[in-house]
């Protein structure tokens, strides 16, 4: 499969609200790109623009080498001619049709011969492990089963581009895990370029080959899950990605390559940094100890939240609160004294004013 998606300077307004603000984005062939952001950030609108369900107010969209939308040239191909499939958040299965009819619909529109339709529908049903459900009506199935059929309906006509709009948000936590794995698998088998919309950062990190983070219509950062997690381009991305959340500590830069955080200082490379900065450190990058350690800072354990595989410890020092993650069940008790050690190699430094990344960890 060789479908590159190119989005250039795309803008979409609803009245005065700019839902998508001058977004440019290239999606590699076969990629699994996730549009990630809080609700109202414009991710679904962007997806609908690509799908052809919304007409942008500026910009261009290419699917492969086909220009499907250009404001400047007044071109907009209808959704049906863009060779893509879309899985809706609420599945949008037609309630008056059986599973089979739902899946055959697009193929019938394409006027394929009956036996070919039959073959394609059954194949897709097998792919989602729902072979025996072809005569059911949507209302006769559970949410998870409807979800699979919604996927199968898209798979059946083999579009070049898969679009998914929060497809798992209506499922319970357990089913969601299963479906993540399933969708990832289906993507690998089909190999189609995929754009996936979600507000769930764990979903984005676990499934994508590439993540595009959006906020208020503006693209914040595009990169692999690894890069997005470890090198957030700005404070918004840093804060949005990761659970438990990243620690963001306000500080002032000292001349001698260290940052003054009020009660304590952290030594790190501060070249190019302005005076007011924010230090970002992931909870798992902080070493925790029940005994005093050289170079560690003394904190008090405010609350401990063990969850089996790991424990989250909220540590306090004056007004500063820091979240630390420790593997396994923690032995620390609430109100214990603990010592935290920051590794300069794991710290990102942001400009307080602009929120941009100044110095990244190694």
Provide the CB-side half-sphere exposure for 320 (13 A, CA): 20
Binding pattern for the stretch 116-155 against other proteins, x by CB under 8 A and - elsewhere: -------------------------------------x--
Which of 1, 2, 17, 94: binder of other proteins (CB under 8 A)? 94
92 contributes a contact to other proteins by CB under 8 A: yes
Q: Is 167 in contact with 87 (CB distance < 8 Å)?
A: yes
Which of 17, 24, 90, 344: binder of other proteins (CB under 8 A)? 90
Q: How far apart are CA 346 and CA 254, in angstroms?
A: 19
- Segment holding 230, helix H or strand E: helix 225-230
Min dist. Cβ of residue 248 to other proteins (A)? 38
Burial class (CB in 10 A: 0-12, 13-18, 19+), 287: middle
- Of 65 and 255, the one with the shorter C-beta distance to other proteins is 65
Which positions ≥6 away from 340 have C-beta within 8 Å?
286, 287, 288, 289, 296, 297, 299, 315, 322, 324
The torsion of the CA quartet 193, 194, 195, 196, rounded to 10 degrees, works out to: -170
Which of 7, 10, 47, 84: binder of other proteins (CB under 8 A)? 84
Restricted to residues 246-305, the positions that interact with other proteins (CB under 8 A) are: none
Restricted to residues 28-67, the positions that interact with other proteins (CB under 8 A) are: 51-53, 55, 65-67
Binding pattern for the stretch 207-246 against other proteins, x by CB under 8 A and - elsewhere: ----------------------------------------
Q: Is 170 in contact with 89 (CB distance < 8 Å)?
A: yes
Q: Which residues bind other proteins (CB under 8 A)?
A: 51-53, 55, 65-67, 70-76, 78-81, 84-86, 88-90, 92-96, 105-106, 109-110, 153, 157
């Amino acid at each position: 499969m060789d479908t590159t998606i190119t989005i250039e300077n795309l803008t979409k307004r609803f009245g005065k609200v700019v839902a998508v603000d001058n977004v440019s984005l290239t999606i590699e062939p076969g990629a699994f790109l996730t549009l990630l952001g809080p609700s109202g950030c414009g991710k679904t609108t962007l997806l609908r623009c690509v799908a052809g369900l919304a007409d942008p107010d500026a910009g261009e969209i290419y699917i492969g080498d086909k220009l499907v939308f250009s404001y400047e040239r007044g071109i907009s191909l209808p959704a049906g001619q863009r060779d893509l499939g879309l899985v809706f958040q609420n599945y949008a299965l037609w309630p008056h049709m059986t599973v089979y009819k739902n899946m055959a619909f697009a193929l019938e529109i394409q006027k394929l011969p009956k036996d070919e339709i039959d073959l394609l529908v059954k194949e897709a049903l097998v792919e989602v492990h729902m072979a025996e459900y072809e005569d059911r009506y949507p209302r006769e199935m559970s949410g998870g089963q409807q979800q699979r059929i919604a996927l199968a309906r898209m798979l059946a006509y083999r579009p070049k581009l898969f679009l998914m709009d929060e497809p798992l948000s209506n499922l319970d936590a357990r089913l969601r895990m299963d479906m993540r794995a399933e969708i990832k698998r289906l993507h690998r088998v089909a190999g189609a370029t995929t754009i996936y919309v979600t507000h769930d950062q764990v979903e984005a990190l676990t499934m994508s080959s590439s993540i595009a983070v959006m906020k208020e219509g503006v693209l914040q950062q595009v990169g692999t899950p690894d890069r997005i997690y470890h090198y957030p381009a700005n404070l918004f991305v840093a804060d949005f990605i990761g659970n438990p959340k990243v620690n963001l500590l306000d500080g002032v830069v000292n001349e001698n390559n260290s940052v003054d955080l009020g009660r304590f200082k952290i030594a790190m490379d501060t070249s190019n940094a302005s005076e007011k900065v924010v230090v970002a450190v992931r909870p798992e990058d902080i070493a925790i100890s029940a005994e005093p350690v050289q170079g560690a800072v003394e904190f008090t354990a405010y609350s401990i939240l063990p969850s089996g595989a790991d424990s989250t410890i909220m540590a306090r020092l004056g007004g500063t609160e820091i979240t630390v993650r420790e593997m396994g069940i923690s032995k620390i008790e609430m109100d214990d004294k603990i010592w935290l050690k920051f590794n300069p190699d794991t710290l990102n430094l942001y400009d307080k004013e602009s929120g941009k990344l100044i110095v990244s960890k190694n």
